[in-house]
Structure 1
Amino acid sequence: MTPSADTPQAYPSEDRAPEGTPETTWFTTARFGMFVHWGLYSLAARHEWVKNREELTDEQYQVYFDHFDPDRYDPVQWARAARAAGMRYVVLTAKHHDGFCL
């Protein structure tokens, strides 16, 4: 997605937060976006720390590894769907702790 003229700038110079305060103007202005947090652990359909929290052995977790084949991963389609829904930004976790890269 190419930013349009009405896409808020990351740090609008006229709306800077006081020194030492996190800048939130852009995020507050953009409001609606998509956060893609996706990887091997998605197959468990419970949470990203499934291996750790459920104390799965490497052998138990291997099942997800063996079946993880993101052949329907279509970032262009995701971006179009986000834009059609009115989203102003997308954050993508490109590499997560399980080692898979998108």
Structure 2
Amino acid sequence: MLVRIVKMSFKRSKVEEFKENFNQNKQAIRDFKGCDYLELYRDRDHSNVFFTYSYWQSETDLNTYRNSELFKQVWSKTKVLFDAKPQAWSLDRLYSLK
């Protein structure tokens, strides 16, 4: 399993536009083949900073999504809203306490 975390910082005037775009597409992203989990977080101290947190069955599944029409559609509307370059991490989950 691959865990993907993406940090995004938006222009303050564009936060609502981002949230609308995410809400319109979140189920399609979550339903994408290989995606097992999707969450959106907002930084408590910086209300224009968000993180997506997702689980992917494999790197191949994540890359298939990243090359899909869905990703291209979502990302084209998202990237124009940024006020800083996004950061992304791909991680292997070693242990989880439940």
Could you state the TM-score of these two structures normalised by the residue count of structure 1?
A: 0.30
Could you state the TM-score of these two structures normalised by the residue count of structure 2?
A: 0.31
Bigger radius of gyration: 1
Q: Which has the higher contact order (CA 8 A, sep 6+)?
A: 2
Greater fraction strand: 2
